[in-house]
Every structure is written in C-alpha cells, then in structure tokens.
Structure 1
Amino acid sequence: MTTADPRSTAITRQTSTAARLVHISRPVLWINTIGTGALGMWLTGQLIDVAAIPLLVWLTLPFNLLIYGVNDIFDQETDALNARKGGVEGARIEQREVKLIAWAVAITNIPFLIYFVLALPIAAVGLIVLYSAVFVFYSAPPLRFKARPFLDSLSNAAYGLPLLIMPVALGAPPVWPAVIGLLAWSVAKHAYDAVQDIEEDREAGITTTAVLLGARGTALWSGAWWLASSVLFALVSIPVAAVNIAIAGTLVVWMLLRPTPATGRRLYPVSVAFPYVAGSVASGLLLAAMFLGVYP
C-alpha cells in the first residue's frame, strides 16, 4: 500500500483552489475589463506602453475576482435559485468559501492598488478607486446598487472607465465620445442581461431595473442607451457604430417580439459575444490605422 506524497497532495490542493478562484472570476467576461483596457491604451496611439502593463495585468484575474467574488459572496441566496449558475456563466459558492474568496480578493488587488498610488497620477488613482468601489458596492451593503432599480444599471457604466483610466494614467487625452459611448453601452447591457434573472430576483425579493420594468420595458430602456452609444461611437468610427447598432438592434427587437426571461436566457450567449465582436472590429480598425500611420 502506497502513501500519498504530502507535497503532491498540497500541490493538487493549491491547483484546485486556484482553478476555483479562476472560475469565480468568470474568464469569459474578462473581455469587459482587459479588452477595454487594451483599447484604451491603443487609443493613446501606443501599441504597447510599458507603463500600462501593470494596469492590464490587474484587469485580468485580480479585478474580475473583485467584481465577481464580492458578487458571489452577497448573492448566495439568488444564485442558489439560478439554474445557470455553476457553469461558465458564474459560480455558485458555498458559505465555507467566503473567507477564501475575501482573502483572495485582498491578496490579488491590494498590491496593485499600492503600486498605482505610488506610480500613477493622482487623477488616475482616483478613477481606479472609483472603478473598484462601484463594483464592490454594486453587491455589498450598505449601498448594494444591485437591489436599487436604475442605480443597478447606471452603476454598471463603470465598465467603460478603463477607456478613461488608461489615457489619464499614461498622460494622454481621452477620446471622450468613445469613453461616454462605452459608459452608455454598459448601462444598456447590464439591464438587458438582467432580464433572464427576473424570476429569481423577484423570488429573492430583489427589485432590479429588469424586475421593475419587465422584459419589454427593459428592452426599450437598453435600446435607448445603445442608440445613444451608437451615435457617440459614430463620432469616432462609423463601422464600429454600424456593428454596434446592428447587434444591439437585433437583441432589442428580438426581446420586444418575445418579452420573457426565457428569451433573455436564449439570447445571453449573443450578449456575451457582443463585446467580442464589436471590440474586435474597433481594435482591428484602430490597429490597422496605427500600422498604416494614420492614427493618431
């Protein structure tokens, strides 16, 4: 009979823990942070800026673990009712994991925040603190924006902040139509994605924008914000605006035709793909312009 190697057992346990934390950070949604950060860097006219690398690294696992780890800690009641949790769309945690997640969020984020305070302009640090605080208090009391209709959707405009944080950190002028357009885009997407959770949120006693407005009303709310974002994007790039209005229009019209949470669940993969497609078009055009020497 062989005895398990303690070192091998410890490594296996650590690997399993790391994999669990990565799962909680929802890698399929990292595009919303790292993708936006990279685009913000390219909009400064730099293909790669060494000063931006710590920010880009922070926008991968650390910041997404902060967003979704905190969310999972405070959403255990609704997540337990949600059949889509437990897969790529989000973890379903157990109470015994709360301490691990809290420590992991602190350990992966605090060193970056200390570095940013020491290395970046004060305005960039202020934006980073705002960016972090909005997502913490989206889920955490006493503010808990998630349970406040309209504030839940409006607070998610923060997903667009890397387009502002990056140029401010690098000493470059922000491209304001792109920044404001992405803020508006993020408001729309949050509300739209919440339609699929209307029944679970209502059962848990949480009134989100989607619960308050219903599927049809939320489609109109999101459609208005997506239309505003398309107008703003058009000031920077007509092709990007066209892609944005085409995908957003499809999502909104489909929801208006069949305004139910089930439609939201069926369309969620399209919504997840939305930033990948629109971001790829925007990034491709921007990188091509940089390569040809016509940007900035």
Structure 2
Amino acid sequence: MEGRRGPQGSGRPFSLAVVTLLPCPGHLPAAVRLQCPRMSAAPPRLLLPLSRLLVISRPALWVNTIGTLVTGVWLTGRLYTLDGGVLALLLYLTLPFNLLIYGLNDLADREEDARSSRKGGWQGARLRPEEEGPLRRSTLLLNAPLLLGLAMWLPPAATATLLLAAALFVGYSLPPLRFKARPFLDGLSNVAYALPLALPALALGAPVPWAPLLALMSYSVGKHAFDAAQDIPADRAAGTRTVATTLGTRGVAAYALAWFTLAGALLWPVSRLTALALWLTCGGMALALLRRPAPEQAGRLYPLSIVTPWIVGSVAGVQLVYLLARGQWDGL
C-alpha cells in the first residue's frame, strides 16, 4: 500500500516542508536535524547566569572575605557600623570579589582542574570551554564599576589596600605574574586574604589592628601551602611549580606548621583562646600530614582546612562580641 502523501507530490517533500516550519528541537533524531534549515548552534552567551556565577565564587569560602571584614569592624571597638563605605565594602566582598578570586583562578587552571578529583563540586567549579569568555566578561562587569565607585568613596588608604588585595589576587592567577606558578610567592601573595581586616579601620579612621592583621597573613600563607599539598600530582602533571611541588608533601607540611605557629604567637598577646584554637586546628592538621605525608592524606584533611576559618573566627568573634556588648573592648 502506498504511504500517505501531502497535498502536492510525495510524502517526503511534505515531511520536509513540515520540518522546515517546526522549531527543530534538539531532541529530534540526528537525520532529521541535519535536514532542518533552522537548526543551528545556540548563540554564545555574553554573560554567565547568576546561578553559575555563585557556584564559581564558592560561597562556602565567602567567610574569608566578609567574615574578615566584620571582624575588622569589631576590632575597631564597634559592634556594628552604618558607615556607607563599610557597608559598600561588605556588599562588594560577597559575590563580586570572590568571583575575582576564584573565577580568574578557575580560568587560569582549567586544564589542571579537569584532572583534579576535587573540582566540579563545592570545592571549586570545573569550567567548560564555552564558559571562558562569558566568565571573563561577567567578572569584569561585576568588579570594575564597583572598584571604581569604592575608590571614589573610600579614604585613600582604604582604597589603596582594597586595590592591593585585588591586584594580588589577579596576579596570583593570571600572567605575566601568575604567582601561583612561582614557588613561595604563590603562598606569600595570599596575604591578600588578610587585607580586608584592615579596611574598616582605614575607612573609619581607627588604628589598624596590626597584630591580628599579621597573624591572619601568617595563617593565610600557611593555609595556602597546606591546601596545595593535595594538588601535587595534578600540578606536577601539568608542569606547574608550586611551594608544594618544590618542598614535597612532608616539607610543605612542616612549612605550613611554621606559619601556623607564627600566627598563633602573634595572636597570643591579643587573645590566648584564639591562639590556642588556631594551634589546635591548623597546627593539628599540619602535624597529621607530617605523620602521614601523602597527597591523599592532605585531601582527607582538606575539609578540616576549609572549616578552620569558621572555627578560629568563631572563637575570636564570640569573645569580641561579648566584650563589646559589655563595654569592655574599645579597640586595639
């Protein structure tokens, strides 16, 4: 029996005419899609959607920026402030600044991240090639106008400190500096994580809390070294030289322990309880890696490393809030 035909001619021209008029969804069979004149690749994105930007910015690590800023406010002797500059900084240090930190890092390390088992989840995004351009544009759009506005609003010292932090993070990830691939400079550049602690004092005209600031710088250098230990195999395979690939697992564990020891010593005159919390958590995980010096052990300890800012920050924060509420703290 002859198949059903269209109004004019055979069934095949009629089917083609229908396919031509349809929007040609992507789930059609490949043979049909090849005949579809309207079927073409989707236009490239200009920007990434907000949900994807949030994943790339690693919200679990925002405590390293906004938590540091809030602690800086408490260290000035204020429980809170309604100063417009500080509130603007607080907003900027959420998605925009963390996207600058981790978005650029993920762009520069896309090939290494593709081989890293810990990427692709809460520990960091695994970027697709088509996301590179939209991520660059999104990062620039979210950061450049806000940095310019803050530079016009904040006092010069606060502006210089904020721009220094941004420059260090950009230099960490991107050439020609790319501190990440320069052993020891990779960790030393991470002092940028501590700089938000000084911003409230500089914005409000209060004394800079030097001892906590230097302690946080030391902690940041040590934490970077410790966290890099688990990436030794991937970094060596990619030809990336870091403090961890240079010192090896045992050496970098000892190096991190030295920085954690210094951080606690700097905190001791200000808050012995906070110093003890830092030594117990950070020093403890460094000693555990020294006992079993292997990248796999570093990977198992990494979740503890992730929560150390929450643990040590909570110990410091509870004390500060208690003293401020009782009127027993007026700043350093």
| Band the TM-score falls in, shorter-chain normalisation | over 0.9
Q: Give the superposed CA RMSD.
A: 1.6
- What is the Cα deviation at residue 170 of structure 1? 1.6
SS in 2 for 1:153: helix
What stretches of structure 1 move > 6 A for 4+ residues in a row? none
Contact 1:54 1:112 survives alignment (8 Å): no
Unpaired runs of 5+ residues, structure 2, are 1-22, 24-44
From 136, 154, 157, give the equivalent of 1:102.
136
CA shift, 1:214, in A, is 0.7
Question: CA separation in 1, counterparts of 2:321 and 2:250?
Answer: 38
C-alpha deviation, 1:45, in angstroms = 1.4
2:175 is equivalent to residue 141 of structure 1: yes
**1:254, distance to aligned residue in structure 2 (A):** 0.5
Q: How much does 1:188 deviate?
A: 0.2
The range that moved more, 221-230 or 41-50, is 41-50
Between the aligned partners of 1:142 and 1:170, the Cα distance in structure 2 is: 35
Distance 1:50 1:103 in 2: 32
1:212 & 1:94 partners in 2: Cα distance?
30
Q: Percent identity?
A: 46
Q: What amino acid does structure 1 have at the position aligned with 2:81? A: D
Aligned pair 1:214/2:266, yes or no? no
2:12 corresponding residue in structure 1: none
Give the deviation of 1:165 after TM superposition. Answer: 2.0
Which letter does structure 1 place at the counterpart of 2:57? Answer: S
Matching of residues 1-296 of structure 1 within 5 Å: 17-51=49-83, 52-296=86-330
**How many residues are aligned here?**
285
Shift of 1:98: 1.2
Classify the secondary structure of the residue corresponding to 2:146: helix
Q: Any idea what the Cα deviations from partners look like across 1:53-108, whole Å, max 9, x if unmatched?
A: 11011111110000011011111110111111000000000121112111211221
Q: Give the match for residue 8 of structure 1.
A: none
1: CA distance, partners of 2:129 / 2:77 = 46
Aligned equivalents of 2:313, 2:304: Cα separation in 1: 14
What's the counterpart of residue 13 of structure 2? Answer: none
Unaligned runs of 5+ in 1: 4-12
Per-residue displacement from partner, 1:108-164 (whole Å, max 9, x unpaired)? 112221221211111111111110010011010000000000000111111111111
Bigger proportion of residues as helix = 1
2:49 counterpart SS class: helix
Tell me if the contact between 2:182 and 2:242 (Cα under 8 Å) persists in the aligned partners: yes
Compare 219-228 and 111-120 and name the one that shifted more.
111-120
Measured after TM superposition, the shift of residue 166 of structure 1 is 2.1
Deviation at 1:241, TM superposition (A): 0.4
CA–CA distance in 2 between the matches of 1:112 and 1:281?
Answer: 32
- Partner secondary structure for residue 50 of structure 1: coil
The one-character-per-residue Cα deviations of 1:211-246 (angstroms, maximum 9, x if unpaired) are 100111001111111100001111210100011111
Contact 2:79–2:325 under 8 Å retained in 1 = no
**Which stretch of the first structure deviates more once superposed, 50-59 or 85-94?**
50-59
Comparing 127-136 with 41-50, greater Cα deviation is found at 41-50
What is the alpha-carbon distance in structure 1 between the residues aligned to residue 315 and residue 260 of structure 2? 17
Alpha-carbon offset, residue 258 of structure 1: 0.4
2:229–2:298 Cα contact (<8 Å) kept: yes
After TM superposition, the structure 1 stretch with the greater mean CA deviation from structure 2, 247-256 or 223-232, is 247-256
**What letter is aligned with 2:231?**
D
Instruction: Please list the CA deviations of residues 185-223 of structure 1 after superposition, one character each: whole Å capped at 9, or x if unmatched.
Output: 100000100001000000000010001001110011111
